[in-house]
Structures are given as C-alpha cells and as structure tokens.
Chain A
Amino acid sequence: MGMLATVINALALQDALERHGVTTRVMSAIEIRQIAEPYIRRRAMRHLEKGRIVIFAAGTGNPFFSTDTAASLRAAEIGAEVILKATKVDGVYDADPKLNSSAKRFSELSYNEFLRQGLKVMDATAVTLVQGEHASDHGLQHDGGRQHPPCGDRRTDRNTGALMAASDEVLADLQKEMEETLVAMRREMSRTRTGRASTALLEGIMVEYYGAKTPLNQLAGLSAPEPRSAADPAVRPQRRQRYRAGHPPVRSRTGAAERRQAHPRADSRAHRGAPA
C-alpha cells in the first residue's frame, strides 16, 4: 500500500509541475500502464536527455525497501550528481530535534560518520548504496528543509548547501538589514552621553605638543577610573615631565578646557563648570 501511495504522490507532483509548464514523466516500478510508464532505465535516461523531469514512483517495486533506498538506487542508476531529501526538519541533526531540543545540526557529514552514529534520517541501506557508488567520500549535505517553488530564481544557501527559494532570499536580506539597523541604533545610543565619565568625552581634543597640534588620546593614556571622574591620573605625570623638559607646554589648564569646549564633538555640556 505504501508503494501505491507513492504513485499517487508522484501523480500529484506531476500535476503540480505541469501546471507550471514543465514536461514530466512518471515512471513506476510496478506496472500501472494506464497511469504511468514502467520504469526502464534507458527510457528514463532518454527523458532526461530531452530535458523532461522524471518522477520515479512505487519505490523499488519491492517491499521492505524504503523510498530513501529507492531514491538512492535510482540516483545511482541515472548517475545523479546530488540527492536532495525534502523533510519537515531543516537539516540533519544528531538526535530528533522534535524530541530533543539540544540536538545539534550538522553542516557536513560523511557517509562513514553517518553510519557510525546510526542516524535515522535515511536508512542505512540507502546510505550504503550511495556510498558504494560515490567512492569519494563526498558526504551528505542536507536540504534546508524548505519548500521550494516549482520554478523561479534560486541560489544556494552557503550554510546548508541547499537550494534556496527566492522568497527565502528576500527574508535573508531583510534579516541582514534589520540586524544592521539594530547595530546602528546601538551605536547612536552610545553616542548620547549620560553625564557618566567616559574617555569618549576626551576624544578629538587637540593639544599643542612639541609645537604641533596632537590629539590628546595619542599623547596620553586615557581612562575613566570611576564613573564620576573622567580623564586619567596617568595624563598628569606624563605632562609634567614634558613641561620640565622645556618643551612648549599646554598653554594652561583652563586653556585646554576652552579648546575642549570649542571642539564640536566634545560634549560641552558635560564640561560646563567642571574644574579642569
């Protein structure tokens, strides 16, 4: 009965595809002549050469073999490059994600690894079959678990190696834009000072040093040791040394404060009345 059900599904799939103007052929492993062609490998190849989509129905035609095995068998027969399995789970996990929330998704998995871990997404018969065919241990890649449109623009999702539908592409771009917006908003929020001392307050302040205007943060280490006092004690000893060495000093402490206020980026409000 399961095999017959796949014939019904194949016809539904055929109908859906043909509605989009794609020529298809259903080939059944058990003979149902009025509805589907019998499966003959060479004929299947011929259809493919002509650019038709071939839907293989009725599994392998034998009971006790899963449709995964059928897919692997047919793929090997026609020399397919890739098998995509569409399921309701979005990838291959080390445990059933429906039952175990800590299940980990694989981004790549070799056939041997698959068999060794006894994963249940596909049965071992199927995996063994493709492994024999694909001596180069190519590895399983999972389909993103998405429902693909029967036609349309697709691109490969780098993360899952799966084909991506056009609508997923739009959503992925949207998510990226949202993330960027949030980051930009965070950045702008941090620019709004809150009366808390921060070295950012002193950014962009130019001081005369050896006769040249130098950004303050380049000639002294700045830090905010506690929230209510900015700048850094380390600035002072350094400065004093330079005064003593007879180099043109910062004109005066108040002078420095004035320059600070004059600078457009410095938050002058925070400095107003601050003893410099």
Chain B
Amino acid sequence: MPIPELTEERRRDLVKHVRRIAEEYRVSMRNHRRDANELLKELEKDGDITQDEMHRGQEKTQELTKDYTERLDKVLKAKEDEIMEV
C-alpha cells in the first residue's frame, strides 16, 4: 500500500506542529526546575540545608535543565530533519 509524498506545505505545517510540542515540554522542564528551586529555598528556610547548599543546589538545577533542554532540542532537530527529508 503506497503512501503518497507529503506536500511541501504539509511538511512546513508538521514542523510547526512538532516545534509547538517541543516548546510545551521545554516549559514543563522549566517548571520542574522552578519547583526544585522552590523546594530548595524552603529547605533552607527551615534550616534543613545551609544557604551555600541551596545556592549550589540551584546551580545544579540550572545545569540539569540546560543539559536536558539541549537533549530535547536534539530530538526536535532529528524530527524536523525527518519531516523535511524528501
């Protein structure tokens, strides 16, 4: 059962579509980072961890977020290439 080629226009639509999805997940990652940072602040306020530890922790959450966002972008790029490939 042959599947017809996508039109150029349809390809562009699909790229837009996957970009939108990727953005949603990027936002979700940032939300996770925000939650973690708030949790760290709370721990610091309650005296469970020191201020230094909180800052170190926040640096780490930033690092993690960056790392995972990059990986997400890579997945997105691969998908875009797959869509645009004729």
Contact = CB atoms under 8 A, between A and B. Distances in A.
Interface string A157-173: 00000000111001101
Contact of A182 (B33, B43, B71): B71
Nearest to A273: B4
Interface in B8-57: 10-11, 14, 17-18, 21-22, 25, 28-29, 32-33, 35-36, 39-40, 43, 47-50, 53-54, 56-57
Contact of B48 (A153, A181, A192): A153
Contacts of B47: 151-152
A92 B75 CA distance: 35
Contacts, number: 122
Interface in A168-225: 170-171, 173-175, 177-179, 181-182, 184-186, 188-189, 192, 194-197, 201
Interface of A: 147, 149, 151-153, 165-167, 170-171, 173-175, 177-179, 181-182, 184-186, 188-189, 192, 194-197, 201, 228-231, 269-276
Interface of B: 1-6, 10-11, 14, 17-18, 21-22, 25, 28-29, 32-33, 35-36, 39-40, 43, 47-50, 53-54, 56-57, 60-61, 64-65, 67-68, 71-72, 75-76, 79, 82-83
